[in-house]
Amino acid sequence: MELDFGPDVRDFRDEVRDWLADHLVGEFAEHRGMGGPTDGAAWEVRLAWDRELSAGGWLGVGWPREYGGRGLGLLEEIVFEYEYARVNAPYRATVNALDLLGPMLLKMGSEAQKKRFLPPILGVEELWGQGFSEPGAGSDLASVRTRAERDDGGTSRSSGAESGGEWVVSGQKVWTSFGVHADWLYVLTRTDPRSVRHKGLSLLLVPTDQPGVEIRPIRNLAGQDEFAEVFLSDARTSADMVVGEVGQGWRTAMATLGIERGTTLLPQQLTFEREAEALIDLARERGALDDPMLRRRIVDAWISVRIMRTTNLRTIAELTAGRTPGAQATTAKLYASTRHQQLGQLATELAGPAGQIVGEDYALDRRQRSFLLSLAETIYGGSSEIQRNIIGEQVLGLPKEPRP
């Protein structure tokens, strides 16, 4: 898989390759491929790597220069992400702010919010967590119950100055990726207590360093605590910390999820390809290719990662042509998550008893960790059931699922 968009972008590609070759060394090189969207492994090393990227000007290559970016185009962004994934660099610790919050602020934030938050994101000075999901409101975000009320007097905790009032936020959020490290949260709240479903929601930016915020880690199957639950008890933030318009939080949240459905699967796809190649090597070692049933499953796994590649290339082609991505972009998340689980299951079977033996203090090898973490992929970011509803109703035009 090679991306070639002409001589200008080839020069940029060579610049990326040269920088990565010079800087992805030592401890950083030892942690190639470490981490993931729900994998908090080697956190401090990855954070140091992000600061190395920041110093080199490689965070936010497509963000405007006035906010600390390089002001480059979509082609350069895609090339950087591809080259980054190609060398199997550590998964960026600041991905939540870089891939989701930052683009959302660029699209819907106020000028003051952009100037306040975007440079510290690119400087790896502030870390962010997403406050969307709640108990009883995971994939169905329209059911959120976290509430925010206006208090028009006093000194703002988020700015430390007299302000035009504050929002007082109470509720519970859950499955906050890397929440234990977050300095700020972007929180979907209900600002109109009489509203129902999608109406009356607002997206607020809330600092975590205050008495009204309690963050508790959630330990997963792989023994990591990259997820967290957040309890908000009269937490406060300035009245101007609303992204977009008050009461229009659903539109803002959907813009964020739309960003998440863009080209962010490209690095994952290359990771899956590496895992498929490792699977084939393992099958050769174990003599599994002599078994026609196993051989068929291995070929199916190989084909699946090639389908992901074709899907991503098609989406990239549409984006670079200025077109809205087609149906394949909607189906990509469902396909990738289910296929990755099948890939991990097959690798575990091929490993035999050794694949079920962990090291000291529950230490896992990469194959074991990847498989256990993949079990959550059909839940986070929109469960497979919700994804099938979206595909059925919005892509295929089928009748909507009956609601109680």
Mind listing the pLDDT tens digit for each residue in 296-354? 999 999 999 999 888 888 888 887 777 877 888 888 889 989 999 999 999 999 988 88
Least confident of 78-87, 94-103, 108-117, 254-263: 254-263
Calculate mean pLDDT across residues 82-110: 91
Q: Is the pTM of this model over 0.75?
A: yes
Which of 197-201, 291-295, 342-346 shows the lowest per-residue confidence on average (mean pLDDT)?
Answer: 197-201
Mean pLDDT of 156-184: 80
pLDDT above 50 for 162: no
Answer yes or no: do 370 and 284 share one domain: yes
Distance CA 72, CA 245 (A): 29
Find which of 210-214, 248-252, 285-289, 382-386 is predicted with most confidence, using mean pLDDT. 210-214
Q: Is residue 207 part of a domain?
A: yes
Residue 161 pLDDT level (bands cut at 50, 70, 90): very low
Q: Is residue 122 part of a domain?
A: no
Q: Which residue has the higher pLDDT, 185 or 250?
A: 185
- CATH classification of the domain holding 325: 1.20.140.10
Q: What CATH number does the domain containing 79 carry? A: 1.10.540.10
Q: So what's the pLDDT on residue 225?
A: 79
pLDDT, residue 333, reads 86
pLDDT digits (tens, 9 = 90+) for 23-52: 999 999 999 988 877 778 889 999 999 999
The answer on 238 and 157 residing in a single domain is: yes
Q: How confident is the model at residue 3 (pLDDT cuts 50, 70, 90)?
A: low
Considering the domain architecture, whether residues 76 and 138 belong to the same structural domain is answered as no
Q: Is residue 123 part of a domain?
A: no
Lowest mean pLDDT among 113-127, 215-229, 297-311: 215-229
Question: Which residue, 187, 214, 246, sits at the end of a domain?
Answer: 246
Mean predicted lDDT score pLDDT of the chain: 87
Confidence at 264, pLDDT banded by 50, 70, 90: low
Task: Please tell me the predicted confidence (pLDDT) of residue 242.
Answer: 94
Q: How many residues does the chain have?
A: 404
Q: What is the pLDDT of residue 256?
A: 63
The reply to whether 132 falls in a domain is: yes
Q: Comparing 197 with 282, which gets the higher pLDDT?
A: 282
268 in the same domain as 339: yes
Give me the sign of the Cα torsion angle 10, 310, 265, 257: positive
Mean local confidence (pLDDT), 135-153: 82
Q: What is the pLDDT of residue 260?
A: 46
Mean pLDDT for the stretch of residues 237-255: 88
Residue 145 structural domain: 128-246
Judged against a pLDDT cut of 90, whether residue 105 lies above it is answered with yes
260 is catalytic: yes
- Bigger pLDDT: 314 vs 238: 238
Q: Residues 239, 140: one domain?
A: yes
- pLDDT bin (cut points 50, 70, 90) of residue 163 is low
Task: Give pLDDT, residue 290.
Answer: 87
The domain spanning residue 220 has which CATH number?
2.40.110.10
What is the count of structural domains for the chain? 3
Report if residue 108 sits inside a domain.
Answer: no
Do residues 86 and 157 share a domain?
no
Boundary (domain end) residue, out of 246, 271, 300: 246
- What's the pLDDT at 216? 95
Catalytic residue among 260, 349, 385, 393: 260
Q: What is the pLDDT of residue 394?
A: 86
Does residue 384 sit within a domain? yes
